[in-house]
Amino acid sequence: MRKYVVTFIVAVLIVAGGFLAWDKHRTPAADGEVVEKTPALSPQKSSQAEASGTTAVKGTVSESTTKNQDSQTSSNQPKSGEAGKSTGQTQTAKNVNSNNTDSKPSAGSKSDSEASAKGSSKTGGKTEFVNTYSVEHVVSNPESMNVLVNKTYRLPAGYVPPDLVYPNVPFTFSEKIDKRKMRKEAATALEKLFAGAKKDGVSLAGVSAYRSESRQTTLYNNYVKRDGVKAADTYSARPGHSEHQTGLTIDVSGSTGKCAAESCFAGTKEAKWLAKHAHEYGFIVRYPEGKDSITGYEYEPWHLRYIGTKIAQTVASRSTTLEQYFGSSIPVSK
């Protein structure tokens, strides 16, 4: 009898032990399922989020492309401009005399940049970016040779460059006035550019360089009175938004001044030489042909911007714009 009792007890212990062992392993197994699924779900969610983000960007780019095409189409319509604008040109430019001249500003897709991303605007540098006065940022690096000034990015109120000098080059006028001035580094580079052109049998003359904010205010208001805001904004910068105020920009022409700041300058040997060689001296044609939807301005083969040889050569080799070069890395004041 004792034998059966012992056998029964052993059997009970075995069954109880088996049950405990099953229960002990069951809980971790269930937890294990949850733990195993979590890592599997995380990448999936991340992937879905990335896919969603990509779709959103693509959608925006498509919309932007349409807008840009519309902008280019409308900008190709002849417009009235400064006194004596040429007609019959796909893109009309402004006529400028020695006392009444103007230029323009810029936007585009992200590329390499030497500007600091810290404190940068998040509105620029993408294909969907619209270069417009409806968004305005004050640049925090106005004295930098790399400063980007356009319809979105403006200079601090009343900004005056610190080292304006008179470059030793011929101008279409004889007076020693403000619009002859440029910042020292740009002026030195301009002298080399003029010398290089002369060596190649091309004689250049300056038309308009530095322009104060008050002078730009007068010019812009006159253009608005004559042509209206919409037309004026295609060829003239609003006060504070003009590259001329940086002291790094100059409008040039042939030595005779013929076609100075007019669309007919595009076909001259001077314009062709500038398009081919300006970057060698650190200058770029700031508002290239066909880029008005990015720069915000009509084609201006006479408008040169000093940016330094490294960036100038990159921009020229890629046939791009400053907006596209700098992307979203534009230091701005908060």
C-alpha separations of 197 from 51, 67, 187, 303 in Å: 52, 39, 15, 16
Which of the 8 DSSP states describes residue 285? E
SS3 assignment, position 208 = strand
> Annotated catalytic residue: which of 213, 243, 298, 300?
300
Query: d(Cα 61, Cα 243) in Å, to the nearest integer?
Result: 28
Rounded Cα–Cα distance for residues 82 and 79 (Å): 10
- Alpha-carbon gap, residue 122 to 51, rounded angstroms: 21
Q: How far apart are CA 124 and CA 121, in angstroms?
A: 7
Q: How many other C-beta atoms can be found within 10 angstroms of the C-beta atom of residue 178?
A: 15
Whether 250 and 278 have beta carbons less than 8 Å apart is answered as: no
Label residues 284-315 b or e (16+ Cβ within 10 Å = b).
bbbbbeebbbbbbbbbbbbbbbbbbeebbebb
| Cβ atoms 239, 220 nearer than 8 A | yes
- How many DSSP H helices and E strands does the chain contain? 8, 8
Residues 302/244, Cβ–Cβ less than 8 Å: no
**Is residue 298 among the annotated active site residues?**
no
Contacts of 275 (CB under 8 A, 6+ apart): 285, 301
Instruction: Please give the DSSP secondary-structure letter assigned to residue 60.
Output: H
Bridge pairing between strands 137-138 and 153-154: parallel
Which active-site residues does the annotation give? Answer: 300
